[in-house]
Structure 1
Amino acid sequence: MVYAVVRAGGRQEKVEVGTVVTMDRIAADENGNVTLTPVLLVDGDKITSDAKSLAKVTVTAEVLNDLRGPKIIIQKYKNKTGYKKRQGHRQELTRVKITGIK
């Protein structure tokens, strides 16, 4: 069983070939492919975490679609002063499918 832990927009995700992952927005090349940076590689009983060895490893993914996360409401309020502030945020996300770990 081969899997890798990749850096995915401020977080780390455990991925295998065929896994669909939602991560922060990432730009794809003209073919719709992305190369992700591995942090750890597990190939059966062999575990690779050395930076020099991981430089040879490539994790490729295909961008399925771009989407936006759920709406988050930020509210600020100060008592007795009439100060109220309301703000919303939606994170921009990308859904990718892992196509290869080499």
Structure 2
Amino acid sequence: MAYAVIKTGGKQYRVEKGDKLDVENLNLDEGTILEFAPLIIGEGSDIKVGSPIVEGASVKATVVQNFRGKKGIAFKFKRRKGYHKTKGYRRSLSKIEIESIEG
């Protein structure tokens, strides 16, 4: 089965056809088809490594859903000073599904 390594949102992901993954918010409508330029493409023992991307290769994906992730807490604390501060946050994420890997 073919796999690829793509980069989006400052992170790299190893993906295969049919994978669904949560990435940083892409600000695109649901159902939009995107195309990524892969850094690495591999199938079995045959691996193509780009510098920085593999020429002529592409990974197509569809935006399935835009949502906000689980709540996280940033807690600041200084010992013996009576100082503590709690701040909550929720990241905006997009769920994408990999449709095809070509190249």
TM-score computed with the length of structure 1 as normaliser: 0.82
Distance 1:71 1:56, change over 3 A: same
Task: Tell me, yes or no, if the aligned pair for 2:3 and 2:41 is still in contact at 8 Å.
Answer: yes
Give percent identity, aligned residues only: 31
Stretches of structure 2 that go unaligned for 5 or more consecutive residues are: none
Aligned to 1:95: 95
Aligned to 1:41: 41
* Paired letter, 2:96: V
Q: How does 1:1-102 map to 2 (within 5 A)?
A: 1-28=1-28, 32-51=32-51, 54-102=54-102
Secondary structure, counterpart of 1:23 in structure 2: strand
Stretches of structure 1 that go unaligned for 5 or more consecutive residues are: none
TM-score computed with the length of structure 2 as normaliser: 0.81
Distance 1:16 1:82, change over 3 A: same
For residues 12-44 of structure 1, give each alpha carbon's deviation from its aligned partner in whole angstroms, at most 9, with x where no partner exists.
Answer: 211111111111111337961112231110133
Task: Tell me, yes or no, if the aligned pair for 2:40 and 2:53 is still in contact at 8 Å.
Answer: no
